[in-house]
Amino acid sequence: MSSDSSKKKLEKILMITVTAGGGHIHATKAKYKQIKEIAPHTRFIFFDVLIDTFGQKIGKACNSLWNSAQEKGDVQSQEWQRRFGHPISEVLFWIPIFCKMVFLLSTNRFDRIIDTQVVGTKAIIKALRVVEFFTRRKIILEKVITELPSDQVLHFTRPIKQLSTIEKKLIQVCCSYSELIEEDKQEGFWQHMCGISAQDVKRDTPPLRLNFLKLIDKERGEEIQTLKIFTHSAKELELIQSASSRGFVKLKNEDPYLSLDIEPTDRVTTIMLGSRPHEKATLEYVQKFIELSQDHIEENRRDIVFVFCRNYDEKPNSLLKRMEELVKFEHNFPANLTILPMPFQDDEVIAPLFWRSDITITRSGGITAMELLAVGHGQIYLHTETISSYKKQGRIGMPAWEEGNARFLIQKKQAQFITPSTFTTQCKAGFTLEERVVDFQEEELNYKQFPEESV
């Protein structure tokens, strides 16, 4: 090694994230891989702001409050945590996070800090100020907003707006989709939400995993698509094979993978209700799809439905097992339908599925919305819970920030809201006509249309 190269300093980056939900950690991994592609020798330290500050028991307990609400489809609990839990945690967690960050920053010489989560922003900035005072070295916190830029992202923007003018010089707001805001409204939006100028917002590469970035602007052709589904255990492999055996798809066992070919004429549906899927709704969507297929059997039509479940090992009576049983014991299962329940998959599977799918049924979380904007080609349906109290408020059954993300998917991708109870009405046309997009009649949701964005 030459003397010049030995003296050359490798960049060291601190990645701050949180494992509640899935979007924040996916954004962190995406940024990590993007940087590694360009600078493979970069050194990283990953910091989970809850687990690494409070320890495994307390940190995981905090995360489980959020994850449990997602699994149950408890919108009210998610809203409570955003409106009240998050501001309270900013006060209660301030000192522990501040102390932990001062120690971390004092014992490491970081070149960059990338933060993809919403907890402890003010404490982290204060720690940066203290370390800067003693070391005379300024480090900027790159705050990556993992939602689309609506007026409902207060969990990201509220702590930033509360920073002092001096403190705001230590933070770089990164919003890849800032252009979704009308140009003449961008300055007012960022001043209103963060107290900063639109010119100070960095529009960098979206926090999308590499396989999504590769598929942006790629047109769908007539080629056969091969997918390899990863399995974490022999039991997962067994359950997937059992469910698929009722249909026409032939899986190839390449342990720990199951591979399959998707023909150009196959119609593909992807059901993915978040990293912590609402189990009841997922099962209902699959049951409705089976019933619809039974009523509309066409000789030349073949449907493959990919259903994202959690890993089998996490719960003995897991969604993956229940999905397999639903398919296994269904009488008169359509011969032209294959249901493929899957454990958690990485972007090597999710990206090509979103790109290939004729129908996707997802939540409108921030990262999922970005992924659909980037590669989605078919009809996009956004899952919403049917909660009577929300109907009375003129609201749909999803958290406010997901409503904000949905606004852009409706505008840019003609997305539609859906529930298991409206599935048959909305998707029936796709089983009898060639058109993929069907008009949505507001019969059961009775939601209030989004107003024009104003600040």
Mean pLDDT of 271-296: 91
Residue 292 lies in a domain: yes
Please give the model's pTM, rounded to 2 decimal places.
Answer: 0.87
Mean pLDDT of 201-216: 93
Mean pLDDT of 271-291: 92
Mean pLDDT of 103-126: 96
Say if residue 97 is in the same domain as residue 220: no
DSSP helix/strand/coil, 15: strand
> How open is the CA angle 95-162-79, to the nearest 5 degrees?
80
- Residue 390 pLDDT > 80, yes or no? no
Say if residue 301 is in the same domain as residue 194: no
- Residue 255 pLDDT > 60, yes or no? yes
Whole-number pLDDT of residue 427: 87
Say if residue 265 is in the same domain as residue 198: no
What is the torsion angle, in degrees rounded to the nearest 10, for the CA atoms of residue 353, residue 354, residue 355 and residue 357? 70
Give the residue from 145, 175, 207 where a domain finishes: 207
Say if residue 45 is in the same domain as residue 173: yes
Q: Which residue has the higher pLDDT, 371 or 3?
A: 371
Whole-number pLDDT of residue 438: 37
Confidence of residue 446 (pLDDT cuts 50, 70, 90): very low
Confidence of residue 316 (pLDDT cuts 50, 70, 90): low
The total of structural domains in the chain comes to 2
- Residue 436 pLDDT > 50, yes or no? no
Whole-number pLDDT of residue 62: 86
Residue 11 corresponds to which tokens in the numbers above?
């960049």
Mean pLDDT of 195-217: 93
b/e code 4-19 from CB counts within 10 Å (16+ = b): eeeeeeeeebbbbbbb
Say if residue 220 is in the same domain as residue 181: no
Cβ neighbours for 373, distance < 8 A, ≥ 6 positions apart: 177, 408, 409, 412, 413
Q: Each residue of 60-86: pLDDT tens digit? A: 888 888 888 877 778 888 888 888 888
Say if residue 150 is in the same domain as residue 231: no
CB contact at 8 A, 54 and 95: no
Whole-number pLDDT of residue 386: 63
Residue 132 lies in a domain: yes
Number of H helices and number of E strands within the chain?
Answer: 20, 14
């609990």: which residue's tokens?
77
Whole-number pLDDT of residue 440: 37
Whole-number pLDDT of residue 317: 78
Residue 55 corresponds to which tokens in the numbers above?
């320890």
- Residue 393 pLDDT > 50, yes or no? no
Q: Which residue has the higher pLDDT, 379 or 10?
A: 379
Give the residue from 164, 188, 207 where a domain finishes: 207
Say if residue 274 is in the same domain as residue 323: yes
Whole-number pLDDT of residue 318: 87
Q: Which of these, 60, 113, 122, 48, lies nearest to 86 by C-alpha position?
A: 122
- Residue 241 pLDDT > 90, yes or no? yes
- Residue 223 pLDDT > 80, yes or no? yes
Q: Which residue has the higher pLDDT, 452 or 340?
A: 340
Which domain covers residue 108, as residue numbers? 3-207
Mean pLDDT of 380-391: 69
Say if residue 171 is in the same domain as residue 246: no
Pairwise CA distance, residues 149 & 131, whole Å: 31
Say if residue 185 is in the same domain as residue 326: no
Confidence of residue 432 (pLDDT cuts 50, 70, 90): low
Say if residue 263 is in the same domain as residue 285: yes
Say if residue 147 is in the same domain as residue 28: yes
What is the torsion angle, in degrees rounded to the nearest 10, for the CA atoms of residue 347, residue 146, residue 46 and residue 120? -160
Q: Each residue of 163-180: pLDDT tens digit? A: 999 999 999 999 989 889
The domain that holds 169 is classified in CATH as 3.40.50.2300
Say if residue 147 is in the same domain as residue 62: yes
